[in-house]
Structure 1
């Protein structure tokens, strides 16, 4: 990609009976978005035309049958399928899941082949996407299989970043899933992401406890003392600024989260309930730790709003901006890491004007 080219943002359409099509089109109804990127929606012209007409949206797009035909400064729709698909807004059915996965798989393949620069995924329904060829609890687990690296669900907003030691794991399985090795991997992943993707030199990371009050010296569980604290002590020996464990019940309400660059929660709801309370509608789900960039909005399919022209698109738009920003920071980090002395000299000793 040359400097003159815009970042190519691949977009999977999500559950076709949800709000995915609406938030995608509303985002790019503002033509100024095309100054930042070239979007490619993995769906079909027929489907997107249906959404456009049904919702009365004023957005022009360009249909293509292969990625080599992408047109800059246009909203490109790649025909992943040609047939007419019946949309039943608000209905959780097999068709909605089937076409969501068709879109996702094609988009991920393009991401792996570097035919798109980043991927933004519209929401899927975790139940109706299940099949013999797709047996994953969500995007993150599928991407972890398809891409390289150690994946971590990282929720981000302007003022808050929350990562998870365990993500889509049943409550009964959380404790046995939290091992010293897993803690070490997740914290290393978020540390490197903060440095490479967010431009932070010495990030400060807070870790929330596993049990209420971090176990109260073993009165309410021993895992914080036997697993979490020893793991954090070992990580600190390697020079990382990792703090905790902190009692989760007061950590956000006290405002303590503002003192850190990121927070690691032990399990899904421990981290996502406060995040969505503080940043809902403006937050972004970023899959950190992989060799390719994927973001998504911080909400689900919203079947109750589907087809009513009431869906808010701000989180999806933020997901697009975040993907672009992370891509640019990661590219800059690669350049700086490749030859830091050479780049440093250029900054320190600019050429004299003749």
Structure 2
């Protein structure tokens, strides 16, 4: 049975305490109408968040502290107390201690997601440098989630109908070519295809793939990876019924508006996809981890130390992250129901 909207539990990891994470979380739920769509639970400490909301003059936000998820109250902004330490917040400072609190929050929230004590996870920004320790050696959220949750994680940036995914993400440009092979390309594109159907309710998704080299290699003049690796992989998938197209020359693909013809665009490496996405998304983009058994989203920006504590952070990307997580949660529930009962498809068409 589908949950009532307000009964969908959104777990939120606090992110770097010295960044803008707390601010964008509190600003999002300052609008009490958000509680009609979901019930948030922030993995942190209520005393700490009370201090931050006062420092940022967000006193209209009413926080409800709890010591276990069993105490969660529907329709409240719940804060799960993970620690009793006296934490000093120094806005804008890159601090290893803040990084460790961020990871404690993230790991506890991930555990709750695995145990289905929360329905979706939205993560506030972390700093990739100060989170590192003997216990946590991951470049960021996505790699840890890929290990902890079943499936094959893929970064998919979303803003309305614009969806940009990556074949490789946080690796040096010099290593991109060496990572790309037919098996990886196939796995990533099948993950995207499934996500578009299951999470975005697109029956016959069309996927565009950008070339690895400038001008997709110009028939081998500028590198042979496109001809020898990418094109054969796309051809096999298309013959199997996956609607993949390309490779397209990346330099003109977005500027010419070609991306509007497709349900997703897959780039070969990080900046090839993220630069045009962030240029077009105007601060409302969402980072969605596709391919996992559970739903996780995050804003498309970082800790923004330079403006932390000033009360000027734009919270729209975080708010859109909450909305997208809820949309995907409901889409998955509907997809699962239809899969179990195909007659539902016919009923919806009548």
TM tier, smaller: over 0.9
Q: Is the 8 A contact 2:23 2:311 kept in 1?
A: yes
How has the CA–CA distance of structure 1 residues 345 and 169 changed in structure 2, closer, same or farther, with 3 Å as cutoff?
closer
Task: Give the whole-Å Cα distance in 2 for the aligned partners of 1:347 and 1:270.
Answer: 39
Aligned to 2:31: 30
Aligned to 2:48: 47
Q: Is the 8 A contact 1:46 1:84 kept in 2?
A: no
Q: Does 1:260 align with 2:253?
A: no
Task: Give the whole-Å Cα distance in 2 for the aligned partners of 1:103 and 1:184.
Answer: 34
Aligned to 1:328: 330
Aligned to 2:311: 309
Task: Give the whole-Å Cα distance in 1 for the aligned partners of 2:163 and 2:345.
Answer: 30
Q: Is the 8 A contact 2:50 2:63 kept in 1?
A: no
How has the CA–CA distance of structure 1 residues 348 and 157 changed in structure 2, closer, same or farther, with 3 Å as cutoff?
closer
Relative to the length of structure 2, the TM-score reads: 0.98
Aligned to 1:207: 209
Q: Is the 8 A contact 1:280 1:298 kept in 2?
A: no
Map 1:62-211 onto structure 2 (within 5 A).
62-211=64-213
Following superposition, which runs of at least 4 residues in structure 1 exceed 2 angstroms of deviation?
1-5, 343-349
SS at 2:222's partner residue? coil
SS at 2:305's partner residue? coil
Relative to the length of structure 1, the TM-score reads: 0.96
Q: Deviations over 1:125-168 (max 9, x none)?
A: 00110111111111110100000001100000113000000000
Task: Give the whole-Å Cα distance in 2 for the aligned partners of 1:21 and 1:153.
Answer: 23
Unaligned 5+ segments in structure 1 are 350-354
Q: CA deviation at 1:280?
A: 3.3
Q: CA deviation at 1:68?
A: 0.5
Root mean square deviation, CA, Å: 1.2
Q: CA deviation at 1:67?
A: 0.3
Q: CA deviation at 1:61?
A: 1.0
Aligned to 2:290: 288
Task: Give the whole-Å Cα distance in 2 for the aligned partners of 1:82 and 1:331.
Answer: 37
Task: Give the whole-Å Cα distance in 2 for the aligned partners of 1:112 and 1:344.
Answer: 30
Aligned to 2:3: 3
Task: Give the whole-Å Cα distance in 2 for the aligned partners of 1:227 and 1:347.
Answer: 42
Q: CA deviation at 1:84?
A: 1.4
Q: CA deviation at 1:46?
A: 1.4
How has the CA–CA distance of structure 1 residues 81 and 181 changed in structure 2, closer, same or farther, with 3 Å as cutoff?
same
Task: Give the whole-Å Cα distance in 1 for the aligned partners of 2:2 and 2:190.
Answer: 32
Task: Give the whole-Å Cα distance in 2 for the aligned partners of 1:280 and 1:33.
Answer: 22
SS at 1:304's partner residue? helix
Task: Give the whole-Å Cα distance in 1 for the aligned partners of 2:148 and 2:8.
Answer: 22
How has the CA–CA distance of structure 1 residues 194 and 280 changed in structure 2, closer, same or farther, with 3 Å as cutoff?
same
How has the CA–CA distance of structure 1 residues 347 and 127 changed in structure 2, closer, same or farther, with 3 Å as cutoff?
closer
